[in-house]
Amino acid sequence: MKTNWLSFDEVLKIKQVEEMLEVYYNSHQYEVTMKILEQFFDGGFEMFQKMGEFYEMQGYFHLKHTRIHAARDPVRVCKRVCDGYENVRTIPDL
């Protein structure tokens, strides 16, 4: 899966962002939380990209979403994604 303009890895990253948008934003379950968490990133795309990278590292993309419901807690995921960010301690527990 690649195009004349995007490598396989770039397409994969876009697919990860798409999945995070579907799980966290388009589900309308976390709209307010996402707006708050976005402040800790350079923008929404970076936030969803980091979340997608985290999901990939944890193997969550290969599980049914019902089995990873607890892992879908966006504040907990973002705190783990932000590891190393100076402002990680300031993300509130909502």
CB neighbour list of residue 44: distance below 8 Å, 6 or more residues apart? 34, 38
pLDDT in tens, 44-77: 888 889 888 888 888 887 776 664 555 566 767 7
pTM (2 decimals)?
0.70
Nearest to 54 by CA among 82, 31, 90: 82
pLDDT in tens, 24-53: 888 887 888 888 888 888 888 888 898 888
